[in-house]
A and B are shown apart, each in its own frame.
Chain A
Amino acid sequence: MPQFIAQHLPILQVIVPLIAAPFCALISVRNGAWWLAFVTSLVTFAISVLLFAATFDGEIISYHLGGWAPPIGIEYRVDMLNAFVLTIVSGTGVLTLLYARASVAHEVDAKQHGLFYTAFVLCLTGLLGVTITGDAFNVFVFLEISSLATYAIVASGAKTDRRALTAAYNYLIMGTIGATFFVIGLGLLYMITGTLNMADLAQRLLEHGDSRTLRMGYAFILVGLGLKLAMFPLHQWLPNAYTYAPSAVSAFLSATATKVAIYVLLRFLFSVFGFSIPFEADILFLVVLPLALAGSLIGAYIATYQDNLKRLLAYSSISQIGAMLIGVSMLSASGLMAAIIHLFNHAVTKASLYMVAGAYAKEAGTVSIRELRGVGRDMPFTTAAFVVGGMSLIGIPLTVGFISKWYLVEAALMRGWWPVVIVIVVSSLIALIYVGKFIEAAYMHPAPQGIIRREAPLTMLIPMWIFAGLSLFFGINSSLTSEAAARAAQGLVAASSLIWQ
């Protein structure tokens, strides 16, 4: 690898898709936009993998934009945690784009394809930027880039269902409020410290000690990010957005958008605030933990009532996000590790499940569970992928879901939190119900009369099964993911001032 590229990997990670995005809109050749987007995502994935490899043994890469050293200039900072999330995001990008070709052709008007892929790549850019940057304000900027692009691609589902427009509009309102809260919080922190570089912020906040302003800043950032990551009860934008967006978009967003928001939350909680004052930890116990527990139960419970498969998956996501937040609220290295590994595992699982839903939407013309009766016979490979993903959602051994649950339960036991263990178990039991409900409909019932359904095309099956395969592979051999998650968690704990560990 040429020295030049190696040196500039962090900026290339963001700049490659940023530059490619506008060209997607320019290309008028048939499928040209898709090709460009796909090649771009491949390049970004390659870059993330290189970054992942470079940081795997604990090295931290720091890149100074414009040659201005931090804390004055903007710094891109890659450690194990970022690199892990970057890989998830860009990897999902590659596979969803591969999938999108057939799916989007079905769900989005042909003349909008150029703009659709532009927005898609911009969204990718934003998510990668949020993850890679070490500058707090830069996080906000990229968050907005990704969010604005997201509103557009969610709205592009309007061809099949006009409700996509309302969903996108609600998402826009909520996303904007979330981002505003986040930036208000940042402003308060800037008032105290006069700096925006995260490492510098952490240092100065530690020196500053407790104050009302700091508490306000913490509150605004927590609630703002809680909205972005769909923490219960701030999740209400999510079900509609994921239901009415084109399936490729649902798959991409469910695997990346909320995960990146959780990453930002982790980064701010541990690296910036660092629990230097008891208030920060108290809020986590008093507010976030109960909400996470409630979310993981209620999300799953609501999911059992859904007939729309995509909406079912959306509520399941809310439940799983609750599980991640439970891991975060434990404030221990093992809990964090459980949250981080679940972040990856859930991304893989949910992406495959949404791809399955998309395949149904394309081939069966519906995602209603009632109308999908007997689909297991007509679309065996697609439905089998759902079974794999569903097992992972429940947490059956040999799937990644089990690995997550295992670490989560173990972390809760280490803390001696029995009720939490029960909640985790109960929410998996409820997951059994909603997954079982679909599997039962797909396999045990005869198909409705006069319906012709064919198996999905290979370009959809391959990415779907790559994700399903990953959720099996890492369910059997989890050494890579658990090692990466453990190192990322240790990095975060080391950066914070958690003293009771």
Chain B
Amino acid sequence: MTNLVMPSLVYFAAACLAPLIPHARLRAVLLLGVPVLAAATFFSATYGTSHILPLFDTHLKIFRLDALSYVFALVFSLAAFLSLLYAAHIRDRLEQVSTLIYAGSAIGAVFAGDLVTLFVFWEGTAIASVFLIWSRRTEGSYATGLRYITAQIASGLLLLIGIVLFYHDTGSVAFERMTLDSTATWCIFIAFGIKCAFPLLHNWLQDSYPAATLTGTVTLSAFTTKLAVYALARGFAGTEYLIYIGAVMTLFPVFFAAIENNLRRVLSYSLNNQLGFMVVGVGIGTPLALDGTVAHAFAHVIYKSLLFMSVGAVLYRTGTDKASELGGLWKSMPLTMVLCIVGAMSISAFPLFSGFIAKSLIVSASEPYLWVWFALMIASVGVLEHAGIKIPFSMFFGHRSAADAPKVEEAPLHMIIAMSFAAGLCIAIGVWPENLYAILPYPVDYVPYTTAHVVTQLQLLFFAILAFALLMRFGLYPLEYRSINLEFDWLYRRFLPRLVSRLAMRVTHAWRSLAGRTTAIATRILSYSPPANSASTGTMVLWIAILLGIVLCLAYL
């Protein structure tokens, strides 16, 4: 036991104390200190530090610091800081407390050295985060939150079952690399998969992120899925299934994103696609690929926050985040536009931006798998389409000229500061990649800025932009209109409920007619009337008699 304070405890303590501060401004400012304080506890600690807590007949390693957990904890701290800064205008204590608990749980989970601790924090992120959705306080957000929490709890339960089985099989709950050779590890794998939004398990993400408050979405986008990527990288690195799962994940959201009207949902699809890159990296499992995954997760958290923040700022000023209702805001929100474009260029992997130096690692590592490499290239074009072009274009230019656009103010100062901070980081990482490479788990001897690489990347991107421009010119680019798109969630939001209600109606009908007939017969024969009060002593005694009868019958058998 060292004298290191667990960083997650800093968040939890702050979550307990924060609501007691009466002044909203003061509270918002003080909260900014929390991620800094928490990061300070592990920032300069040596790798290998751990805490052991005895529980049951085993020992739990509730804190483990190594290269992998360090990077994730660092970027989570950054994300928590950005979210809190961006949300400085919020007075809702519930949302602040859940942000703190959510961030604290995510960081705690990253430091978990055993599965039980991981499970505790895993559920912590699930339960805390749902309040970011419910904080919107509409009926729709409540229903969405319920669907979200169901998926999250299902993941937690599967994890728990997996842990129990794993403990049963091996007698250990240590969280180390696993192989998919038993029910236990499959359960854990699928639990991770739900949180990582694997194809067909992904719907909770696109369903819920647009439903959160505008600040809540920024927070949500950073933690849950990246925690799952961390868990996969720790537990299932080199599992071949992941390569193909990841490849599918990079591709299919691209199509949905291209035709989605709600911009926060577009970003959610984009998030899913980006996770695909990381999952491919985990699946390949070579040091280069894992470094790529970690670097990509790091860069991704920052530019995805930036994009969500810019959409949030527009939503804050105009009251909508739907592409069909927006456009032409470049004149009234120029700063937001510039920052949004920085985020868009980062995610599209323009050279000198963070996406470029991170994604390249994964793409290079995927070269032995030809089709996967190909999928990643196409997906990169897709990223450019929906996140690089569609997001900034539909908000700031689009089908409206600046004259038609509603006259709104520039985003509030604290939002601009938060976005500038994120944008600065995007550029800094892109220009000086060696600082990020230095903290990755494996030594990196990769050079992103070769002439060939820069040129090919620019060719890919600019010809895609050219295609966009030409399609636009000839009116072939799909215009946005108010609509939603069916997705896999149609199954459980529409099909199954209808099916069940129909079946239930049938069964009720059948039962009623049967029961009606039986009662009629019984009444006629026995002139028996059912007791009015279901819990009358008569009924109770009847049950006793039945039960005693059964037991006695068995006794005579």
Q: Are A and B direct contacts in the complex by CB distance below 8 Å?
A: yes
A interface residues with partner B (beta carbon < 8 Å): 170, 173-174, 177, 181, 212, 215-216, 218-220, 222-223, 226-227, 233-234, 236-237, 239-240, 279, 282-283, 286-287, 396-398, 406, 409-410, 413-414, 421, 425, 429, 432, 443-444, 476-478, 482
Question: Is B200 an interface residue when CB atoms closer than 8 A count as contact?
Answer: no
Which A-chain residue is minimally distant from B54 (CB atoms)? A479
Provide the residues of chain A in CB contact with B535, threshold 8 Å.
Answer: 170, 236-237, 239-240
- Taking A170-B535, A177-B541, A425-B157 as contacts, is the C-beta distance between A413 and B552 under 8 angstroms? no
- Report the stretch among B161-169, B320-328, B361-369 that lies at the interface: B161-169
Among all A-B residue pairs, the 6 with the closest Cβ atoms: A215-B555, A219-B551, A236-B535, A397-B120, A236-B540, A223-B548
Would you call A219 and B164 a contact (CB within 8 A)? no
Which A-chain residue is minimally distant from B536 (CB atoms)? A170
Would you call A410 and B164 a contact (CB within 8 A)? yes
Would you call A282 and B554 a contact (CB within 8 A)? yes
- Taking A236-B543, A444-B134 as contacts, is the C-beta distance between A170 and B537 under 8 angstroms? yes
Which B-chain residue is minimally distant from A394 (CB atoms)? B153
CB < 8 Å neighbour of A413 from B164, B540, B554: B164
CB < 8 Å neighbour of A219 from B537, B539, B555: B555
Which B-chain residue is minimally distant from A446 (CB atoms)? B137
Would you call B555 and A413 a contact (CB within 8 A)? no
Provide the residues of chain A in CB contact with B164, threshold 8 Å.
Answer: 406, 409-410, 413
Interface size for B (C-beta < 8 A) is 33
CA distance A222 to B548 in the complex (A): 9
Provide the residues of chain A in CB contact with B554, threshold 8 Å.
Answer: 279, 282-283, 286-287
CB < 8 Å neighbour of A212 from B157, B534, B540, B555: B555
User: Count the A-B residue pairs with Cβ separation under 8 angstroms: how many?
Assistant: 87
Provide the residues of chain A in CB contact with B168, threshold 8 Å.
Answer: 410, 413-414
Provide the residues of chain B in CB contact with A220, threshold 8 Å.
Answer: 548
A170-B537, A477-B55 given; 19 more Cβ-contact pairs under 8 Å = A174-B537, A174-B540, A174-B541, A216-B555, A219-B555, A223-B548, A226-B547, A227-B544, A233-B547, A236-B535, A236-B543, A240-B535, A279-B554, A286-B554, A287-B554, A397-B123, A414-B168, A432-B153, A444-B134
Which B-chain residue is minimally distant from A231 (CB atoms)? B547
- Taking A240-B535, A406-B164, A425-B161 as contacts, is the C-beta distance between A287 and B551 under 8 angstroms? yes
Measured CB to CB, the closest approach of chain B to A132, in angstroms, equals: 28
Which A-chain residue is minimally distant from B154 (CB atoms)? A429
Question: Is B56 an interface residue when CB atoms closer than 8 A count as contact?
Answer: yes
- Taking A239-B535, A425-B157 as contacts, is the C-beta distance between A287 and B540 under 8 angstroms? no
A to B CB contacts below 8 Å, 9 in the list: A223-B548, A226-B547, A227-B544, A234-B547, A237-B540, A240-B535, A283-B554, A414-B168, A425-B161
Which B-chain residue is minimally distant from A218 (CB atoms)? B555
| Interface residue SS majority, chain A | helix
Measured CB to CB, the closest approach of chain B to A296, in angstroms, equals: 16
Identify which of residues 507-557 in chain B touch chain A, using a CB-to-CB cut-off of 8 Å: 534-537, 539-541, 543-544, 547-548, 550-552, 554-556
Which A-chain residue is minimally distant from B552 (CB atoms)? A219
Would you call A233 and B120 a contact (CB within 8 A)? no
CA distance A478 to B54 in the complex (A): 10
Measured CB to CB, the closest approach of chain A to B51, in angstroms, equals: 14
Would you call B544 and A223 a contact (CB within 8 A)? yes
Measured CB to CB, the closest approach of chain B to A281, in angstroms, equals: 12
Contact with A along B115-127 (1 / 0, CB 8 A): 0100110010000
CB < 8 Å neighbour of B540 from A226, A234, A443: A234
Identify which of residues 416-458 in chain B touch chain A, using a CB-to-CB cut-off of 8 Å: none
CA distance A63 to B28 in the complex (A): 66
Would you call A223 and B551 a contact (CB within 8 A)? yes
Provide the residues of chain A in CB contact with B161, threshold 8 Å.
Answer: 421, 425
Which B-chain residue is minimally distant from A476 (CB atoms)? B55
Provide the residues of chain B in CB contact with A414, threshold 8 Å.
Answer: 168
CB < 8 Å neighbour of B56 from A413, A425, A478: A478
Which B-chain residue is minimally distant from A178 (CB atoms)? B544
Provide the residues of chain B in CB contact with A233, threshold 8 Å.
Answer: 543, 547
Provide the residues of chain B in CB contact with A227, threshold 8 Å.
Answer: 544
Measured CB to CB, the closest approach of chain A to B539, in angstroms, equals: 7
Would you call B123 and A396 a contact (CB within 8 A)? yes
Would you call B56 and A398 a contact (CB within 8 A)? no
Provide the residues of chain B in CB contact with A482, threshold 8 Å.
Answer: 56
